[in-house]
Amino acid sequence: MAQCYRGIIKQALQEFDNSQTDEVYKALAWTGLQNTVAWNSLTQTERDNIIQTVTDYNINNSNCQ
Protein backbone atom coordinates (compact mmCIF):
# COMPACT_ATOMS: atom_id res chain seq x y z
CA MET A 1 0.00 0.00 0.00
CA ALA A 2 2.76 2.45 0.91
CA GLN A 3 4.45 1.84 -2.45
CA CYS A 4 1.30 2.84 -4.34
CA TYR A 5 0.83 6.03 -2.33
CA ARG A 6 4.50 6.98 -2.53
CA GLY A 7 4.23 6.94 -6.31
CA ILE A 8 1.09 9.08 -6.26
CA ILE A 9 2.63 11.54 -3.79
CA LYS A 10 5.85 11.75 -5.81
CA GLN A 11 3.92 12.45 -8.99
CA ALA A 12 1.75 15.11 -7.33
CA LEU A 13 4.81 16.86 -5.90
CA GLN A 14 6.47 16.88 -9.33
CA GLU A 15 3.35 18.29 -10.98
CA PHE A 16 3.11 21.02 -8.33
CA ASP A 17 6.78 22.04 -8.58
CA ASN A 18 9.08 20.36 -11.06
CA SER A 19 12.27 22.18 -10.06
CA GLN A 20 13.72 19.33 -7.96
CA THR A 21 15.33 16.06 -8.96
CA ASP A 22 13.42 12.80 -9.12
CA GLU A 23 15.43 11.64 -6.10
CA VAL A 24 14.12 14.54 -4.00
CA TYR A 25 10.50 13.80 -4.84
CA LYS A 26 10.97 10.10 -4.09
CA ALA A 27 12.54 10.95 -0.73
CA LEU A 28 9.83 13.47 0.17
CA ALA A 29 7.19 10.83 -0.54
CA TRP A 30 8.66 8.78 2.34
CA THR A 31 7.85 11.57 4.82
CA GLY A 32 5.64 10.16 7.56
CA LEU A 33 6.31 6.54 6.65
CA GLN A 34 9.16 5.87 9.07
CA ASN A 35 8.51 2.85 11.29
CA THR A 36 6.24 1.23 8.71
CA VAL A 37 6.83 -2.22 7.22
CA ALA A 38 7.86 -0.60 3.92
CA TRP A 39 10.37 1.69 5.65
CA ASN A 40 11.80 -1.13 7.72
CA SER A 41 12.26 -3.26 4.60
CA LEU A 42 14.74 -0.71 3.22
CA THR A 43 18.43 -1.11 3.90
CA GLN A 44 19.99 1.22 6.44
CA THR A 45 21.87 2.92 3.61
CA GLU A 46 18.62 3.57 1.73
CA ARG A 47 16.99 5.00 4.86
CA ASP A 48 20.02 7.19 5.57
CA ASN A 49 20.00 8.50 1.99
CA ILE A 50 16.30 9.35 2.17
CA ILE A 51 16.72 11.11 5.52
CA GLN A 52 19.71 13.08 4.21
CA THR A 53 17.90 14.07 1.01
CA VAL A 54 14.86 15.33 2.95
CA THR A 55 17.09 17.17 5.43
CA ASP A 56 19.02 18.85 2.61
CA TYR A 57 15.76 19.82 0.91
CA ASN A 58 14.40 21.36 4.12
CA ILE A 59 17.60 23.31 4.74
CA ASN A 60 17.87 24.64 1.19
CA ASN A 61 14.22 25.56 0.56
CA SER A 62 12.17 28.14 2.39
CA ASN A 63 8.63 27.53 3.58
CA CYS A 64 5.74 28.77 1.47
CA GLN A 65 4.57 32.21 2.50
* CB of 33 closer than 8 Å to CB of 39: yes
- Tens of pLDDT along the chain (65 residues) come to 677 789 899 999 999 989 999 999 999 999 999 989 999 999 999 999 999 999 999 999 877 65
Quote the pLDDT of residue 64: 67
pTM score, whole prediction: 0.84
With H, G, I as helix, E, B as strand and everything else as coil, classify residue 58: helix
Quote the pLDDT of residue 20: 94
